[in-house]
């Protein structure tokens, strides 16, 4: 990886992958996509304190700088931005960005200050890096929608690219948090992807009643003792409004947030009728 002066950026397209580190193949797929579409790919690693609430353990978030650095070198990342917390949030920091409606639902109900922290850090990083395109993973579907709304509403001069969820061979969506799971919890965690798969297959068979589809997801999630469901929902793809009947020609998201033991996992699937 190398340093680029502002002169060297001129005329070059910049792709940006913001991360909180502890990288996995999901992050690397974003780097690969950025490399395909841009001259320079910049990755940031910053565990952002403002998106954690006091009851979520920021200090325990997994970190492994050396491993991340090597993975990024192997992936051909051009620049790694690895700021300190004090550089990003100096003592007198007092400005936050809030997207109103879409942040109140689902994740917002369970993590009320989370998206304010995300939109604020993403803004700060965009201002520092000044990318032409920024890459996010579909696994954080609501985060992608919130960031896209912010970019649209504030006429920010970049494009958001959302890349598909990357899964382990057995279906578990890749996440830095999977490291918290014990071997038996890792097995139980498969109920998230199974519930989505089963719901998708019901819809493919013609089921349109969201209550029945949700009931199926919930019963699969509850089939393991370690699970505690925050939500299992069907929402409109754009507005994140809950729906009761699925209509032809529309796009939806099946969304799950579920604790397996102490680890909170999220997963989702896009549905087009």
Residues lying near ligand PAF in the complex (CB under 6 A) are found at: 18-20, 48, 51, 118, 121-122, 140, 143
Q: Which is nearer to ligand PAF, 121 or 129 (CB)?
A: 121
Supply the minimum distance, in Å, between the C-beta of residue 143 and ligand PAF: 6
Residue closer to ligand PAF by CB (options 50, 210) is: 50
| CB 228 within 8 Å of CB 110 | no
**Token pair listed for 122:** 């993403």
- 62 CB contacts (<8 Å, ≥6 apart)? 21, 22, 176, 177, 179, 180
Shortest separation between residue 18's beta carbon and ligand PAF, angstroms: 4
Residue partners of 236: CB distance under 8 A and separation at least 6: 243, 250, 251, 252, 253
Selected catalytic residue, list 24, 27, 69, 132: 27
Helix (H, G, I), strand (E, B) or coil at 242: strand
Question: What is the smallest separation between the CB atom of 34 and ligand PAF, expressed in angstroms?
Answer: 14
Q: How far is the CB of 219 from ligand PAF (least distance, A)?
A: 30
> Is 177 or 238 the residue whose CB approaches ligand PAF more closely?
177
**Cα distances (Å, whole numbers) of residue 103 to 71, 159, 178, 238:** 32, 20, 25, 12
Q: How far apart are CA 220 and CA 198, in angstroms?
A: 9
User: Two tokens at 67?
Assistant: 């491993």
H or E stretch at 42: strand 40-45
Q: How far is the CB of 89 from ligand PAF (least distance, A)?
A: 12
- Find the shortest distance in angstroms from Cβ 205 to ligand PAF: 34
Whether 69 sits among the annotated catalytic residues: the reply is no
- For ligand PAF, the closer CB: 20 or 217: 20
- Using the minimum distance from each CB to ligand PAF, give the nearer residue, 222 or 264: 264
d(CA 160, CA 132): 9
Instruction: Give CA–CA dist 234/148, Å, rounded.
Output: 20
Burial (CB count within 10 angstroms: exposed 0-12, middle 13-18, buried 19+), residue 4: middle
Contact predicate 174/207, CB 8 Å? no
Looking at beta carbons only, is 162 or 270 nearer to ligand PAF? Answer: 162
Catalytically active residues, by annotation: 27
């Amino acid at each position: 990886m190398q340093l680029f002066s502002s002169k060297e950026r001129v005329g070059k397209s910049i792709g940006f992958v913001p991360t909180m580190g502890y990288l996995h193949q999901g992050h690397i797929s974003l780097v690969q996509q950025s490399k395909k579409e841009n001259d320079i790919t910049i990755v940031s690693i910053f565990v952002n304190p403002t998106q954690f609430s006091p009851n979520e353990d920021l200090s325990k978030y997994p970190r492994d700088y050396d491993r991340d650095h090597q993975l990024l070198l192997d992936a051909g990342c051009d620049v790694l931005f690895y700021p300190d917390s004090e550089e990003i949030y100096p003592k007198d920091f007092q400005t936050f960005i809030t997207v109103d409606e879409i942040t109140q639902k689902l994740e917002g109900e369970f993590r009320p200050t989370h998206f304010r922290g995300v939109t604020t850090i993403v803004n700060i990083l965009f201002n520092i890096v000044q990318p032409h395109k920024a890459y996010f993973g579909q696994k954080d579907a609501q985060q992608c929608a919130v960031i896209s709304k912010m970019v649209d509403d504030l006429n920010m001069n970049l494009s958001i690219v959302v890349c598909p969820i990357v899964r382990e061979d057995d279906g578990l969506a890749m996440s830095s948090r999977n490291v918290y799971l014990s071997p038996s919890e890792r097995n139980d965690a498969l109920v998230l992807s199974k519930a989505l798969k089963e719901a998708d297959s019901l819809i493919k068979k013609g089921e349109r009643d969201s209550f029945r589809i949700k009931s199926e997801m919930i019963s699969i999630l509850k089939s393991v003792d370690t699970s505690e469901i925050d939500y299992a929902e069907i929402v409109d793809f754009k507005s994140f409004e809950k729906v009761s009947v699925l209509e032809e020609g529309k796009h939806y998201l099946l969304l799950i947030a579920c604790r397996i033991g102490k680890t909170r996992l999220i997963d989702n699937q896009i549905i087009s009728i």
